[in-house]
Structure 1
């Protein structure tokens, strides 16, 4: 054995545990992949060899023998041709299947577009020159699927991605489907170029055209988030993370918009994640509390009830509902928070009625997700049974948009709530879309005029007309009408002259903590007694 081999063997043996027998690991032979392409060329070669051999044999036999042997050779030729054709047919079939499998491995089976892994591979191979990476989603697509079914949703995805592909490829873009209603587009060039602006405008215009299927006409919009390669990230993971941050900002802005990435978006996303984690612990840490804003009757000036408004006391800071309610709605925490609010209102009502001896009504806002939750009705039934609260003391405020999203099922649920004895009101009336035909079918007790109309009704003629028309509409349907956001005596006087029934706002009182609200209630009782 050579010195080099001995040294190598000693090194291997010394690295083994004591008592272990040395084992030699020989390099394995390279594996060859025999694909359909190789089989096809092998079949061609075999066929050529057979034909060449048969022709040569035929010539030799023709010269040395008679015609009988020649006929046998021709028969052999025919058999060889049939065998080669049969082999070639199956090789070509295998080749087609293999090509289909290769295509399916890199493409979405529903739309035929390249999928996420292909998109990430494309990002890794980008040359170092500016590219615009756009992530998009179809706004409110889950509502379409909920209304018309998954089959309709799949057909709509096929139709819309075809439009997106045509519009993007016409401007040099490459389209990929990521998942669900999410897609990605890769453009050459910078985000601040006129060509990119024109491409996005053409894309949004194409998608904005109504989609007609099975007799339904559906209008859609896009939320888009854009980053620039390599400025906003050279690695696919970083690019996708930043583009997704911009996309989420577009969705939070209400959709139908394009947001360009900036570093502040990641900071905002991090803050939202921290806020969500803290919000999940807020209920068990008893950091949530309710404030109660009094509501006044315009007929006698007396207190008629309160609206319960949630607050989050995080340490010494009182977090505004505008900051955490949208986050709770988006994350689904609003369902459990809404259940806590109803439980707390029932507990507080029992205490107030015991302390004051007076019956009053407390209004509670019901979020869209809470209204649509499967256990919403069962929770209220169980709560009324356990607390023995008079159901007419609780008023559920529901926005008109929630009712109109699925009007027929909303009517059924509202009727069941009304059958329990609960009072029902439409919150922020006038800010959404209501069908008067449906409005007359809703078992509603009260309309609440949104403060955006009340704020300028004394100076803007159109808003004054809307407020008066809403009051007249509510009365014609047998409903009580309340206006929120009343802050001045002039606004109160106008509403009184228009025969509005009730008001709520800073002019009468700010939202009060529970103890202060009890004092307000007791003062109102004493004033009425006097």
Structure 2
């Protein structure tokens, strides 16, 4: 029986962890200059949730239940297992990214859990990227700034995810030392239409250049969008034009074909 996130309770969520129903999926990021794999974004799937339950809504459900730390630890252990199993097929320098909420960043144990995951991967082969989501404001506290600094000293990159759609904005770039931003699919979709949102992408590109930040565009669906982004210098791209999110088995097939 499929479940919607609105119908689940804490027992359902806890059982999903105990029964191994939470699984990682991986969406490739492509460097279009070389048409090669640049990175993978880790996305959560719940095998019993309905098809409309997005990773964001699932994370919100775990956060509301108080089980988010346990879920993240469980998920990252699975990711480490998968990466080690596929290690021979994965390129050196591959970026492995996962989403966290502002409340996770501020929580005790976040840095330890993140670095523990990094320690489970082959030494210095991969680059870990933490993408901070924008559903909540990111508090400018010593705890948050300290968490960012500790991660960056361990060569973990910090990105603002879906930049410009929520709380992350120019003010956040002034307050926090981050390594990059991710352009939301809403803005990318506007590139191939008459939508005013399409004008936001070049503005973000200029802003990122001024702050010397890396930029990734997600939600790339068409070759036209990809070319426009490339012309702006945004060459790391993610979206269904290249691949949907993949299970471990599907990722293996993708790597073999590539």
TM interval, short-chain normalised:
0.7 to 0.9
Does residue 379 (structure 1) correspond to residue 113 (structure 2)? The answer is yes
Deviation, structure 1 residue 517: 0.7
Could you tell me the TM-score, scaled by structure 1's length? Answer: 0.44
Q: How does 1:132-151 map to 2 (within 5 A)?
A: none
C-alpha distance in structure 1 between counterparts of 2:147 and 2:52, whole Å: 33
| Structure 1 contact 345–362 (Cα < 8 Å) conserved | no
| Structure 1 contact 391–420 (Cα < 8 Å) conserved | no
Given the superposition, is the C-alpha separation of residues 286 and 473 from structure 1 closer, same or farther in structure 2, using an over 3 Å criterion? same
Question: Who is 1:288 aligned against?
Answer: 22
| Structure 2 contact 188–218 (Cα < 8 Å) conserved | yes
| Structure 2 contact 140–175 (Cα < 8 Å) conserved | no
Does residue 511 (structure 1) correspond to residue 213 (structure 2)? The answer is no
| Structure 1 contact 425–446 (Cα < 8 Å) conserved | yes
Question: Who is 2:31 aligned against?
Answer: 297
Question: Who is 1:494 aligned against?
Answer: 228
Runs of 4+, deviation exceeding 6 Å: none
Does residue 320 (structure 1) correspond to residue 53 (structure 2)? The answer is yes
**1:1-57 per-position Cα deviation (integer Å, ceiling 9, x unaligned):** xxxxxxxxxxxxxxxxxxxxxxxxxxxxxxxxxxxxxxxxxxxxxxxxxxxxxxxxx
Question: Who is 1:338 aligned against?
Answer: 72
C-alpha distance in structure 2 between counterparts of 1:356 and 1:520, whole Å: 10
Does residue 329 (structure 1) correspond to residue 72 (structure 2)? The answer is no
**1:221-242 per-position Cα deviation (integer Å, ceiling 9, x unaligned):** xxxxxxxxxxxxxxxxxxxxxx
C-alpha distance in structure 1 between counterparts of 2:71 and 2:97, whole Å: 16
Question: Who is 1:271 aligned against?
Answer: 7
Question: RCO greater where, 1 or 2, for CA within 8 Å and sep 6 or more?
Answer: 2
Q: How many residues align?
A: 253
| Structure 2 contact 102–134 (Cα < 8 Å) conserved | no
C-alpha distance in structure 2 between counterparts of 1:369 and 1:407, whole Å: 12
Could you tell me the TM-score, scaled by structure 2's length? Answer: 0.86
C-alpha distance in structure 1 between counterparts of 2:121 and 2:96, whole Å: 15
Bigger helix share = 1
Give the 3-state SS of the residue equivalent to 2:151 in structure 1. Answer: helix
Structure 2: gaps spanning 5 or more residues: none
Question: Who is 1:347 aligned against?
Answer: 81
| Structure 1 contact 334–367 (Cα < 8 Å) conserved | no
Deviation, structure 1 residue 401: 5.9
C-alpha distance in structure 2 between counterparts of 1:387 and 1:295, whole Å: 19
Give the 3-state SS of the residue equivalent to 1:512 in structure 2. Answer: coil
Deviation, structure 1 residue 279: 1.5
Q: How does 1:25-64 map to 2 (within 5 A)?
A: none
| Structure 1 contact 361–395 (Cα < 8 Å) conserved | yes
2:208 paired residue among 463, 474, 482: 474
Give the 3-state SS of the residue equivalent to 2:46 in structure 1. Answer: strand
| Structure 2 contact 129–159 (Cα < 8 Å) conserved | yes
Deviation, structure 1 residue 436: 3.2
C-alpha distance in structure 1 between counterparts of 2:5 and 2:221, whole Å: 36
